[in-house]
Chain A
Amino acid sequence: MSMTAKPRLMSIRMVWVRVPMLVRISVLFVLLMMLTAIFATVFAPYDYAKQNLFLRLEPPFFLGGSMAHPFGTDGLGRDILSRLMMAIRVSIAVALVGTLIGAVLGTIIGFVAAHFRGLVEEVIMALVDAQAALPFLIIVLAVLAFFGNNLWLFIGLMGIYGWETYARLIRGMVLSANTQGYAIAARSLGFSPLRIYRRHVLPNIFNILIVQFSLNFPQTILLEASLSFLGLGIQAPLTSLGEMLGSGRDHLVLAWWVAVIPGIVIFLTTMSISLIGDWLRDILDPTLTNTAN
């Protein structure tokens, strides 16, 4: 487990030069998205919801439009650049919160299953199987049909997405960690199970959690985008990347950019995070490193 100690000794520049070019570009792009999400309201040239019906479907600057609206305007004359910044904030915030909830929830449930074994474990694994047996999009649609749509329920649903992968993963990792020397040593020293899990087992499986997180995050972005695209996720007047794409669909004939610009942002964001995730998996997952060597 020297993996966790090594990077700390290296400076950021030493790490950076070892990163493949494509991953570097991805990291920069994701940073740009994060900054946009944080400073959306500061940098946006206009209010994202302000309509101007005299300036409907203005083209972006690269199609001869004016720099007053660099990415043009949408069907209600709203500035696309400003909306895009707000949409990036909403989409990333929802996906980040959702993925975090799923990771924490799944990790705790995985620990519980591995700790108590027996009936508790059986029930948890039956739930894991049940969730894995249905495409999550269908589950979300059913819950939205039963309870109606609201933002908090929607974020909660994003949180439930993916818990079962963490639960399954952590359960397996904890079961095998429990039989290893360091856990047995800690136990024979009389430490409480909670302390052993938190201070000894969790740091040892943290790498795998990080990898799983980076693989889940783009999936959550896509799930949010799909639902908002269908008109069943983030609702107007609030906006998200999927909502922008979905409403831009009505103007494809006259103004394709209204739908295509947010689409490109979704695509580049999910692709960047996936590339970073793949790279992280290659360097952090010890089982893969061993076979590569």
Chain B
Amino acid sequence: MTFTYAIIRSLRGALTVLVLLTLVFVILRLSGDPLDAMLGDEAEPELVAYYTALYGLDRPIWEQYLRYFGGLMQGDFGFSYRDGRDALEVVLERVPATLQLGLTAIAFGVFLSIPLGILGALYRDSPLDRCTMAFAVFGFSLPNFFLGILLILLFTMTLQILPSSGTGSWKHMVMPVITLGTSSAGSIARFARSSMLEVLPKPYMITAAAKGITRLRRITWHALPNAAIPLVTILGFRIGDIIAGAVVVEAVFAWPGVGRLLVSSVSSRDLAIVQTIVILVTLTMVLTNLLVDLAYGWIDPRLRTERKGK
């Protein structure tokens, strides 16, 4: 198989993580003395000296950099200023809520948008197709925070059937999931449509029709698998949008996830928490993109031989 390709691709991913971690370190150091934020301006000199030695802030910058790296490798992400707890622990506590919201939103987006895109392509220029395209433009022009507020106005204020904030039941999930899923659904629908349109006139589709295969089978067995290949990459890109969207959507619906923790940590400048979240998001993104890239080769045999040829 394309073992070398997988190795090279993983190394590139690792390099990206390295560059980002270094940037975080540089920004941390540029933003001023970390002890100022922690101890305040009027701290006792002895206390400042103690923490300076403890955190190694009197060491040369390259040694601090190595220590920072070593710390991260051992899972030492620092402490939250607000309650002195381990930053990684505080963040990990919030991950399940965000995963629950994010994964459901992706599923909602995919199940809504891919059929829409396919139908749009099959019945090109029909009213259905126009609706699909209108939905797509709508989906990525309507800001998620505004959609969230409109949903709250409709379902909580007017109809009074859904709670506007918190967690607990499936009812709590409906509005956050719709809000988060709609924006990606728009662009996925558009992409699915153009991907399908590209496949439909291909010679193998004509051959299949000439062989007398039914239309339904032609679409599900011949067109769909081929149209799905480029869709895998777009799903990879969407992960970033889902993460960014979750920050906003969690704020709108008071969802107790990582996004809300990030916003409150930024407001109170709880740097250890912010840094931990940035690192976790980076790892998630790089890993997803790596998996998508490898999956791409696995799904599409043509790419595999192409890469081998190189």
Contact = CB atoms under 8 A, between A and B. Distances in A.
Contact of A270 (B27, B28, B143, B247): B143
Nearest to A137: B244
Contacts of B27: 142-143, 146
Nearest to B21: A130
Given A133-B285, A260-B153, A263-B150, A145 B244 contact: no
Interface residues of A, number: 43
Interface core residue of A126, A130, A148, A270 (most chain B CB under 10 Å): A130
Interface stretch (A11-19, A99-107, A227-235): A227-235
Interface residues of B, number: 50
A21 to B, nearest CB: 14
A206 interface: no
B157 interface: yes
Interface string B228-272: 000000000000110110011001000000000011011101110
B38 interface: no
B19 A126 contact: yes
B265 A145 contact: yes
B55 interface: no
Nearest to A218: B141
A259 to B, nearest CB: 6
Interface stretch (A109-117, A196-204, A245-253): A245-253
B141 A260 contact: no
A245 B24 CA distance: 32
A182 interface: no
Interface in A125-157: 126-127, 129-130, 133-139, 141-148
24 contacts: A126-B16, A129-B16, A133-B286, A134-B20, A134-B281, A135-B241, A135-B244, A136-B244, A137-B244, A138-B262, A138-B277, A141-B247, A141-B262, A142-B275, A146-B28, A229-B145, A229-B248, A245-B149, A246-B145, A252-B152, A260-B149, A270-B141, A270-B143, A271-B138
Interface of B: 12, 15-17, 19-20, 23-24, 27-28, 30-31, 137-138, 140-146, 149-150, 152-153, 157, 240-241, 243-244, 247-248, 251, 262-263, 265-267, 269-271, 274-275, 277-278, 281-282, 285-286, 289
Interface of A: 126-127, 129-130, 133-139, 141-148, 218, 222, 225-226, 229-232, 242, 245-246, 249, 252-253, 256, 259-260, 263, 266-267, 270-271, 274-275
